[in-house]
Amino acid sequence: MGPLVSGCVIDTNILIYHLAGVLTDQAEVTLADALESGSYISIITRIELLGWRKHSSDSLKAAEKLLQSVSEIPLHEEIIQLCISFRQNYPIKLPDAIIAATAQHIKVPLMTRNMADFERVPELKMVDPFSQIAHQ
């Protein structure tokens, strides 16, 4: 059997849950499959994950190591234009719009637990590793 999820953009909340040890067993398997098959993060995810003020030195090292296992998609003009379009057309926060635009630009689903904020962008494909239900 192949990976449950391959080639997705992983939202910050999934990485935080993983580092905190609160992902369900099913969600851990889904995340591991995504990481092994080659997944991505937005530049926003690196900023959010590493910028958390309450990191201990150990948790910061763990976060830095985790980020080495994904490819970071830089912010560039095509993603910026998608982000602008999302902000003009949908009620979505700027960091979420950048993450959504990143996934949309590289044509992969977004792995997130935060479905409510992202489902405002109807063209975005999403997967919730806690429910393993894909949303479109």
pTM for the structure as a whole: 0.90
- Give, in order, the Cα–Cα distances in Å from 50 to each of 9, 117, 129: 17, 22, 22
CATH of the domain at 92: 3.40.50.1010
> Which helix H or strand E contains 112, and what residues bound it?
none
Q: Tell whether 36 is covered by a domain.
A: yes
pLDDT one-digit tens code per residue, 70-111: 999 999 999 999 999 999 999 999 999 999 999 999 999 999
74 touches 46 (CB < 8 A): no
To the nearest whole number, what is the mean pLDDT of the chain? 92
- Of the candidates 35, 11, 15, the one whose C-alpha atom is nearest the C-alpha of residue 98 is 11
d(Cα 68, Cα 65) in Å, to the nearest integer?
Answer: 5
| SS3 state of residue 133 | strand
102 touches 77 (CB < 8 A): no
Q: Tell whether 2 is covered by a domain.
A: no
Q: 67 lies in which domain range? A: 9-135
Percent of the chain surpassing pLDDT 90 = 88
Q: Tell whether 41 is covered by a domain.
A: yes
Q: Tell whether 19 is covered by a domain.
A: yes
